[in-house]
Every structure is written in structure tokens, then in C-alpha cells.
A = this chain, B = another copy of it.
């Protein structure tokens, strides 16, 4: 006997018939969305001018998804379950939209698409129509927290939603195309991080639809034994539902879902009542159905149902081809809409009863509108973690080490709504203090030796897996369901999630700007650390500060970039970000010991302004400056200050203004970004005609990109990472990229008219010093201690 298929047939004839009708209603709506602009209930014979002018949308995965939703509704009703649904398959929105519409939720939110014949016509017309409804589950889709535009993240999003939601079951449909992506392939392992006592459950439904756009899928074309082994290897208990006969499939799916829910509840009981936190084998379902199931079998002599040809629009030309029009009509009428919808166009009463009610409806579950459930973090007073700074630049400290202490106490006060994420680097990134509040989540095997500093526990709240994709997906799922978090990662490797960032920013922008019913969700906080300038020892591959360029391409409504120059500024910025909503906050701060500049009060003032003159480092008091030295980022700030110190020694009368930038978007015009400085404020800081030497953390061109419309732009000379690196010392790396104190001082001498000629000897000496330091590094393997003497000392 096959132990991967339950043998029961739980559905009574009447129930089966009703569920099948409900499913037919879904499928009818899906096909209607793709084809019809008029005559939504086919009360007239279908005519060419009822057909949309441009046929768009994806039929292929809709029936399988609808089928799953119909069956989820059954168990939700029967057991009063709390379930949300994530639709992984790229463009299968019609299925989710149809369910949402049948449940009445869609019309509650969009009253112009009511439960009437006219409302249905409008839904159909707006689908995949300019200015209308997207063909995948966009933020506009009620009940959704997952957009399938870019594939790969459904399962990690699902786990993110399940963490700390003990009563929630997150059903997630994974397309077999999506399953080929890297991010999806590794996210199966998320089950080693789900605690059955504390967290909810994830129920993956791998949809073996068989085909992608134009190809079979890998997982649909490996033998049953291999697929079963793969799922068992990933740590699941797989159940198979396979076939195409609706009646048989309904019984199979009902029995399988009953089985899975029973298993989930048994696992949770063992954990919650008996304290058994050993990693369970969570159930998952493999649903193999024909692509475009119940659609046209054959068109023009080609197989369509059960083929890649069913992926999008199965019949291409009904408006211009009578035969095709007839085929479409036959297909649509095969669902018998007259049995499904009443006179007014509303789903008949008998079928309405199959949907759950109120907030139990998948389309209305509040977890999928996470802002509605979101509670502000209980934050400790960040000033209490302040570093003493008696005088600027007299003390070295690791900023992230200080931040770790704050985060530790954030964690302690919010033990069910805050998590920290990092790819095996939380400790490397000096956030180690967090472990005092909570160990790392770990439900894979443990060894006795783990007790010695392993910091592992099923109850841990620090999430570490060597997959930036999975971590980002978890955090997105966690915040979209209304909870808070921070993801710390090596700067160079944050590019791994460029595309995930892009998609999340797009989601936030739509939700924030266009959807009043979506409540604001906690911001996604990215701490970019192990920065380029201190990846001197790891070499060229670990040096890439270009993520900021990606971030600045996204909407000003949703992205923020902060470069706190020291630990107190980092605390102030972190507190601000943890309170904010609906942003992606990118915080750039290093883990190595760095000089500290500002006491807490000054740090708060500075970070609140986001940009400002550091009087204590300037020499232009009460005068127009000869030159502005600006900086953004910790190491660039230290080098810029050291350059000022050098220049003060060389040219005591030189008027230097020192400007530091924390909030990068301050550089943009206020017309382009809400954080942008007005023309007047920018000009008063940077002057309208004096040279500005700007020492920047990232690629220099980014500063030009942000400031090219500023009055004094021609005079802004940016030093930044120039894509030069190897195994280096810190100063050597700064020198070869030209952000070091010597290069900056030379640039000042070159740019200030009064120093031309006068400064030639100094320039020569500074050039020699650059070479001396390079030689020292290459002989001794470290930077000379003398470097610290050149550091600004107040």
C-alpha cells in the first residue's frame, strides 16, 4: 500500500457536489477575467465584441490554485482554523481574485466591483487592463502578502509569517517553475527554524502543474521516488494528490488536507502540551494536476490542457475567429454559470455557505494586512546605551558592538514580536550581545559540545542561516504580518538580495501610496556592515558598496539611507528606524573599532538634522570658508578629519568647514525627495562657489547622482571607492582608492586658489607620506601606529 496517499474518502456526495460547484465558479471567473469585457454571465450568446481587445492573463495554474483554496475553505470552516494563503505561481492572480470576490471581501474593499452582474463585468474588464488589476497577486489583492512577479520567495515569506504566530496556518502554493529557483530551493530548510510550540505552521503545497512558460518543469519530470526522497531529504512528510478526474481528486485532496491538519495539530500538541521540541517532520502536499485543468483540451490540433500551451491565454483569437469564439464559449459554458450565480449575478446562497465567515475568510484574514495587527515595539531608552565621548576622536569603539547591546534589550522587551536576522554573521558583525537576550533558533540536531558557546536553542530568536535570500524572505514575511526585525549582513553580499529589495520596495510603494485599506507595516531594516573599507584583509571580492546605488533608484516614498559616523549616531538612527513604518531603512555602519565623535545629545541633534557642520572640526568660525570638507560614513569621516588636522598644521589660516552627512537623501533637492534639503539650506552648508571635497563611503558617482542639480555642483569633488582592492591594510586600501587623509589634503591644496604654489612643498611631502605608508604596509603587513597620531585629536 502506498503510504503517501490517504485512502479515506471523507466527502459525502452532496458536499463533494457543492465544492465542485464552488470550484467551477472560481474557474469560470478566472476564464472570464481573461476574456470578457461584456456579457459576464453569458446570458447572451457570446459575440466577438464581448471579448477584450487585448487578451492578457495566465490561465495555467488558476484551476489548481482554486482547487486548493476550495479545500482550504472546507477545513477552515470545519475546524475554525486561522489560515492565510500565499500564491507562489507567478501570474496566477485570477484564482486568488476569484476567491476573494466569491467571499465578498473583494467588493467590500472595491465597491465598484460589487457582487452583481455589473460588478462582475467590471472585475473582468479591469483585470489585466490599463490602470486596472494586475495579473499576479499585487498589493491590491485582498488577503495577499506575497506578490508572484519575481519568483522564488513564497516559501520564505510563508515561514516569516508563521514565526511567532502560534495559531496561524500559512498555506503556501509553490509553483513547480518557482521551485527551480535558488531562493526557493533552499527555503525548504526553513523547517529547521520553526518552533512548533511558539510558531505557527506552514503547509507547503507544491503544485506540479507540469510546465513553465515554454518548458516542462524539472520536479514534474523526475520519478516519484526521487521527488519523494527530495521532500523527505528537506525534512518533510510528503503527501501526494495526483490526477485529473475532479471527483477522485476532491476526495483525495479532502482526505490529504484532513491528514495534514491532523498532523499539524498533533505536532503542536506534542510541543505545547508535552514540551517535545524535537524537529517534527511537518506535512507537505504534492499536488499534480494538468496545467490549465478543465480548460480546452486541444486547440488547432495542439494539446492545450496539460501542456505549456495552457500557460497564458489558451485560445488566442476569439475576437477575430468564429471557431475560436465558439471554443471559448463552449469552455466558459462548461462551468454552467447559470447554476452558480443568481439573477443579480451573486454567488448562489448554497455555495456562499462554503466560504468561511468574517475574518476567517482567507481574503479577509487580518494577518495578511499586518499593519492592522501591528503593535509598536516597546523600546528601551536608547540614550542609556550612549558611549561617553569627553572629546571627539579620542576613543575607539565598535559601533555595532554598542548597537548590539541596545538590540539585546529591544529583544528582551519584545520577545514575541522582534527578531534579528543574519547569515551566520551576527557574531562576526559584533552584535554578539544579542545572544544574552536570546540564543539562535535551531531545531536541527544538537551536540553536547554545542553547550560551549553554541548559543543554539529551539526557543532562540536570532535567525541565522547561510542564505541571504531566506533571511530576507523571512523578514519580509515577518514585517508584512505586522512584526519587527533587523537584518544585518556583509555589505558586499547584500547584492545577493538586490532584486528582493527592489520587489519589496515596489510593494511598499503601492501599498503606501495607493491602498488606504492596507495599514502601515513595520519598516524593513537592513544593517549593512563589515564595510568595504575594513574588508582590506578579505580582499577584492568582499569590497562592494554599490547597494546604495540600487536603493536610490527606488521611490523616495519608501527608501531611506543612513550613514551614522559613530556609535551614538548609530543608536539614534536605529531607534528612529525601529519606530518607523513602511520604509526600507538602510543603515551603513561598520563592526571594527572606530573613533567616536559625538556625545549622545550632539548625536541626536546631528541625526535629527541628518546633515550638519561640525564646528569643533572646522576652522571657518565667523568666516566664509575657503573650502568645505564633507564626509559620509565612518572611515571616510575619520580620514576627512585627519586631513583637516594635517591642513591645520600646514596652513593655520585656512578656513575649513567640516560637514558630515548621516541621512544621504539630504543631498537631493527637496523637490525630489522628502528628506532633501532646500536649495537655500544646501547652499548655506556647501556654499555656492567654494570647493567641496566630499569623502564618501561608496562609489563616488552616487554623490554626483544626488547633487547634480545643486548650485555648487561643479565644485563638488568626490572621493569614494574606485573598485581597487586586494589584500590590503586599512590605510593602504584608503590610499589606493584616494579616500585617505593625504589624498584629501592634496586635493584641498589643489582646489583652494590661495594655496596654489604655496602648497607645492606640502603636496610633495604628503605624496611621500602616502608612499611611506604603502611601503610600511607591504613590509610589516599592518598599518603603522603613527597613523593614529595623525588622527584628529580635538
Contacts and interface: CB of A to CB of B under 8 A. Distances in A.
A134 interface: yes
A216 B506 contact: no
Contacts of A433: none
A129 interface: yes
A705 B549 CA distance: 11
Contacts of A549: 546, 549-550, 553
A36 interface: no
B53 A782 contact: yes
Contacts of A555: 723
A43 to B, nearest CB: 23
Contacts of A499: 492-493, 495-496, 498, 544
Contacts of A226: 232-233, 235
B130 A781 contact: yes
Contacts of A426: 214
A183 B705 CA distance: 32
A612 interface: no
Interface string A411-438: 0000000000000111110000000000
Interface in A285-337: 302-303, 306-307, 309
Copies of this chain present: 2
A450 interface: yes
B180 A181 contact: no
A193 to B, nearest CB: 9
A552 interface: yes
A180 to B, nearest CB: 4
A449 B220 CA distance: 14
Given A541-B147, A549-B550, A52 B781 contact: yes
A469 B540 contact: no
Interface stretch (A74-82, A149-157, A658-666, A741-749): A149-157
Contacts of A307: 449, 452
Contact of A150 (B233, B496, B509): B496
A468 B177 CA distance: 12
A758 interface: no
A509 B723 CA distance: 10
Contacts of A442: 215-216
A553 B723 contact: yes
A290 to B, nearest CB: 11
Interface in A489-538: 492-493, 495-496, 498-499, 502-503, 506, 509-510, 536-538
B302 A453 contact: yes
A181 B452 CA distance: 26
A476 interface: no
A174 to B, nearest CB: 12
Contact of A498 (B178, B498, B726): B498
Nearest to A732: B130
B223 A234 contact: no
A175 to B, nearest CB: 9
Interface residues of A, number: 127
A223 B445 contact: yes
A553 B217 CA distance: 36
A409 interface: no
Contacts of A359: none
A757 interface: no
A188 to B, nearest CB: 8
Interface string A98-129: 00000000000000000000000000010011
Given A54-B782, A708-B704, A454 B546 contact: no
Nearest to A535: B149
A688 to B, nearest CB: 14
B550 A546 contact: yes
A182 B541 contact: no
Interface stretch (A197-205, A382-390, A459-467): A459-467
Contacts of A223: 445
A535 to B, nearest CB: 10
B182 A53 contact: no
Contacts of A234: 230, 233
A187 B181 CA distance: 9
A231 interface: yes
A261 to B, nearest CB: 24
Contacts of A231: 233
A476 to B, nearest CB: 14
Contacts of A259: none
A397 interface: no
A117 B147 CA distance: 61
A539 B303 contact: no
A495 B506 contact: no
Contacts of A719: none
Contact of A502 (B450, B464, B495): B495
Contact of A541 (B150, B186, B221, B424): B150
A446 B218 CA distance: 11
Given A182-B152, A444-B221, A781 B54 contact: yes
Nearest to A226: B233
A192 interface: yes
- Complex A-B, nearest 4 residue pairs according to Cβ-Cβ distance, in ascending order: A230-B233, A149-B541, A182-B182, A185-B186
6 contacts: A131-B727, A216-B447, A302-B452, A493-B499, A498-B550, A546-B549
Given A185-B185, A307-B449, 5 more contacts: A181-B466, A182-B187, A216-B450, A222-B444, A222-B445
